[in-house]
Structure 1
Amino acid sequence: MNSARLVRGAVAAALVTILLSACSSDGDDGVPRSWIRETYTVSGSRWLDKDSSPARVADAIHDHRKALDRSSGGGMRFLRYGDDMVTVSPHRGGSMIEIEDYRNGYRRHKQHLVNWPNPNSQSYRGGGPGEGK
């Protein structure tokens, strides 16, 4: 009975992983998730660079794949990639990298994103597939 549960749990976890990777933005204009995973140390749902400042990490990510927009504030750096956003924050002498949906990131950090489009406005189109339709 326990082994059947373990198998079902493993299958469910594999399916979730496949679905999340299928939905991730790692195309030519999306967040360079694979590169971030390969370059930085994973810490739960975030990544860490123990030695580099947020400015330096954000520059490295942007150099790898150009962001649609960049901003900064409160010691943090922000990179916008269509429907996603990368936030690089100071963390214990280094940096912490978070990737999240643009709407959630905008809601959390809008005081630092004054020139970015409000995702709740009628004119916001997101920048993902089907942009400008």
Structure 2
Amino acid sequence: MKTARRFGVLFLATAALAACSGDSGGNAVPWNWIRTEYRAVGGGYHDRTDPVRTVASEIEKHTSAQDRTTSGSMVFLRYRDDIVAVSPYRGGSRIEMDDYRTGYHRWRSHLSSVWPDPDSDSFRGGGPGSGK
């Protein structure tokens, strides 16, 4: 009986820690999954063979994005507080992740007519109850 209780407590503690991780709930970017799934290269990650749309779909299949848009040969995934950009790179794809504000400014020419400017008075990132 003590073993069952210990297992139950251990299970609940593990579940609580998982719920607090960066990849869980609330539409967060699957940072850890991307880090383990793709090869790190110069500030981003690289898939050596898959095209941009395939890689973006793999990421979104793992964790659904709030929004997805394309611009030229790039795909952008919008998560709660972050942006994932997937672009062509050496016969495969490059994955770059930034917080929303940094990513928006970095890729403004691709996103300004699609997603809200984080510096505008009307921008309310993070969704309801986020305290922003």
- What TM-score do the two structures reach when normalised by structure 1? 0.75
Residue pair 1:50, 1:92 contacting (<8 A) in 2 also: yes
Runs of 4+ in 1 over 3 A off after TM superposition: none
Q: Indicate the larger mover: 24-33 or 115-124.
A: 24-33
CA shift for structure 1 position 68: 0.7
Look up the SS of the partner of 1:71 in the other structure: strand
Q: Aligned AA for 1:116? A: W
Look up the SS of the partner of 2:87 in the other structure: strand
**Counterpart for residue 95 of structure 1:** 93
Aligned residues: 110
Which protein is bigger by CA-based radius of gyration? Answer: 2
Q: Aligned AA for 1:105? A: G
CA shift for structure 1 position 129: 8.2
CA shift for structure 1 position 59: 0.7
Unmatched 5+ residue regions in structure 1? 1-23
Q: Aligned AA for 1:95? A: S
Residue pair 1:50, 1:94 contacting (<8 A) in 2 also: yes
CA shift for structure 1 position 132: 6.5
- How far apart, CA to CA, are the structure 2 residues paired with 1:59 and 1:120? 29
- What TM-score do the two structures reach when normalised by structure 2? 0.75
Q: Aligned AA for 1:118? A: D
CA shift for structure 1 position 127: 1.2
Q: CA RMSD in A?
A: 1.9
Aligned-residue sequence identity (percent) comes to 51
- How far apart, CA to CA, are the structure 1 residues paired with 2:60 and 2:103? 18
**Counterpart for residue 123 of structure 2:** 124
